[in-house]
Amino acid sequence: MPDAVCRAREPFPAEPIRTLDAIHLASVLVGRSAVAGLELLSLEERILRAAVRLGVRVHPEQVVA
């Protein structure tokens, strides 16, 4: 099973996370191991908050509280 799918099945720090959101977040986490400095662009505050809690740099930053 691909790494992103395995990670998407695990809990996230900002629950609830919808299925597609979990796949996006997991993909960023897995991608960071291959691409240094990978960041996340989203307008969904739930995804941005979860990403920040996972240590991912996000854009736009002003949305995250």
pLDDT score, position 15: 74
pLDDT score, position 39: 94
Q: Is the pTM of this model over 0.85?
A: no
Could you report the per-residue pLDDT of 33-55, keeping only the tens digit for each? 889 999 999 988 889 999 999 99
Say whether pLDDT at 63 is over 60: yes
pLDDT score, position 16: 83
Mean pLDDT taken over the chain? 89
Overall number of domains in the chain: 1
Q: Which domain holds residue 23?
A: 3-63
Does residue 38 contact residue 4 with C-beta atoms inside 8 Å? no
Helix (H) or strand (E) holding 59: strand 58-59
Distance of alpha carbon 56 from alpha carbon 65, whole angstroms: 15
